[in-house]
Amino acid sequence: MSSPATAPPAPNNLRRIVAASLIGTTIEWYDFFLYGSAAALVFNKLFFPDSDPLVGTLLSFLTYAVGFAARPLGALVFGHYGDRLGRKKLLVLSLLLMGGATFAIGLLPTHASIGAAAPVLLTVLRLVQGFALGGEWGGAVLLVSEHGDAKRRGFWASWPQTGAPAGQLLATGVLSLLTAVLSDAAFGSWGWRIPFLLSGVLVIVGLWIRLSVDESPVFREALARAESRKEDDERLPLVAVLRHHWRDVLVAMGARMAENISYYVITAFILVYATVSAGVSKQTALNAVLIGSAVHFAVIPAWGALSDRIGRRPVYLLGAVGIGLWMFPFFSLVDTGSFGSLVLAVTVGLVLHGAMYAPQAAFFSEMFATRMRYSGASIGAQFASVAAGAPAPLIATALLADYGSSTPIALYVIAAVLITVVAVGVAQETRHRDLSDVTPAPEAGPAPEAEAEAEAADARTV
């Protein structure tokens, strides 16, 4: 008989929880990606006007990378209090911080108005964005993972992951529309502010939905047990993670390298490469990312469902190896300057990325015990982002400036793929783990007999 912690919730309740997590992650990623797209398109001129265009783009991407530097701090703070106070409270706070910072960027004076203070203020607001996003991801995927049906955890937990392409789709779509209807002068003068100011409306909608859901039953049960024991480890989730789950943290960090780097090369750096090296217009590059993001959104739940059938590791490895093999064809297609080739390059890249990103939510959630799960999943995911996604557009732009070729950039992504293949290759399969387990035993997967029974049960349901 299922315990209350593990019994599947009512379908309507689960869909509401998924919707709350999805809309929150969509808004937060909209804010985060909006900055990345603006950094590639206009921030170099607005905040670093005295620099060479490519150098200005590098400086613009440097402020973009600063947001990643704050994500580990957000992971530590939100993870700690999320494991002590609950997932829901911290998710509301992260949404308010992210939305407030993004709205403020839309009101920010440029270098022409206040000089050097403009890029300083831009950097501060970017730090707030990064801090908020560092706490958002772990809580959103855990809220769904800990509510959902264990047999379909990969599928349900992949829905918050679709917030990334949905946010990318929304940010790129708004920018694409504005660049299509406004002149370059109008967009550079005031049009770029509109997408940032729209974040205020989105946050109100997100808060209304997110406040309507309940706290995770798995967390509530674990909290009740912890309060009766008053164990030191559970009062300090970070200490417990580093003591009991340090191998899992390293696996999560390694797993993110190819996923994170390839994503920002495909969606952020491509706006620079396609316009500078391939002679493609901004509008054409944005439209290609827009189409690729729509397909990305659609395939993520399918990859998540597949991970429920064959395991998290096989799907993840398929995506990692696939993205490594795709890098040289990717740049060759972009170099043609054809819109169809550009769409194909971005879309196939994002489909392969989805095979890593979809099972990641369930995979990371299943690695850690309940009272240290928010901390563990967030630390593993966000600390990797500092070495992976943060410098990816910056490194790619620098390699392009130094070598004038896409070959070093492709090799850079392939090196990240090798790290990910090793990390996921040495990890244990996690899809049959019980999330209600509060014991810190990272090496303790299901016993061989239990694994065999689970596989037989899966076969009977085919």
Separation CA 257–CA 68 (nearest Å): 14
175-201 as b/e, with b when 16 or more CB fall inside 10 Å? bbebbeebeeeebeeebbbebbebbee
How many residues would you count in the chain? Answer: 462
**Average pLDDT over the chain, rounded to whole?**
82
For residue 439, the tally of other CB atoms under 10 A from its CB is: 9
Q: Which of 200, 166, 142, 348 is nearest to 262 (CA)?
A: 348
On the question of pLDDT at 54 being above 80, the answer is: no
The whole model's pTM is what? Answer: 0.80
Degrees to nearest 5, angle at CA 38 with 36 and 39: 60
Please check whether residue 73 is in contact with residue 136, taking contact to mean a CB–CB distance below 8 angstroms. Answer: no
pLDDT in tens, 164-215: 889 888 887 888 788 888 888 888 888 889 988 988 888 888 788 778 777 7
CA–CA distance, 95 with 3 (Å, rounded to integer): 32
Mean pLDDT over 321-340 rounds to 96
Give the number of other Cβ atoms within 10 Å of residue 18's Cβ: 22
**Cα separation of 18 and 132, whole Å?**
20
The answer to whether the beta carbons of residues 367 and 251 sit under 8 Å apart is yes
Q: Residue 187: which of 363, 45, 333, 61 has the closest Cα?
A: 45
In this predicted model, what pLDDT tens digit does every residue of 367-390 receive, in sequence order?
887 778 888 888 888 888 888 887
State how far the Cα of 104 lies from the Cα of 229, in Å rounded to an integer: 44
Sign, CA torsion 59/63/66/68: negative
pLDDT attached to residue 227: 63
Tell how far CA 370 is from the center of its chain.
Answer: 22
CB 383 within 8 A of CB 260: no
